[in-house]
Amino acid sequence: MDCRFGFIAAIAAILLAAPSARAQGAGEVTGIWLTQAGDARVRVSKCGGGICGVVVGLKQPIDPATGKPQVDDKNPNPALAKRRIIGLPLFSGMHATGPGKWSGQIYNADDGSTYASNVSVTGADTLRVEGCVGMLC
């Protein structure tokens, strides 16, 4: 089984605010979010008029097969396949589509593909991330 975080594998997830890391007020998108499975932390910040998300931590940062940091080895671009998962941008420039809602593209490190995505704040400490394939989200 791949040790990377299930958030990306599933393409749809709920991110929960990591209580010690969330400096913003309730219902804010910016901050550090913990995946529902608890296996990755993603920093969401404002950028270019939208939002960006970057992996800032993994439960298992070291690949047990190689003994080295987890890398983006499923990326079809050989130049990108060696970049570390920690620091990997998952989405950037997602544009606002309504109050607490954004749309754009999300990268899936488990298959090296990019998908249409929707992000929404669904509670004080809950961020819903949906990946879309065709018309299905």
Q: Which residue is listed with tokens 């299905």?
A: 136
Residue 117: partners with Cβ closer than 8 Å, 6 or more residues away? 91, 94, 103, 104, 105, 106, 129, 130, 131, 132
Q: Report which of 133, 36, 137, 33 is spatially closest to residue 90, judged by C-alpha positions.
A: 33
Whole-number percent of the chain with pLDDT over 90: 57
Over 50: is that where the pLDDT of 4 sits? no
Segment 73-125, tens digit of pLDDT? 999 999 999 999 999 999 988 999 999 999 999 998 888 999 999 999 988 78
Name the residue with higher pLDDT: 19 or 130.
130
Distance of CA 33 to the CA centre of its chain: 9
Q: Per DSSP, what are the bridge partners of residue 88?
A: none
Residue 24 pLDDT > 70: no
pLDDT band at 47 (very low <50, low <70, confident <90, very high): very high
User: pTM value?
Assistant: 0.82
Kindly tell me if the per-residue pLDDT of 135 is higher than 60.
yes
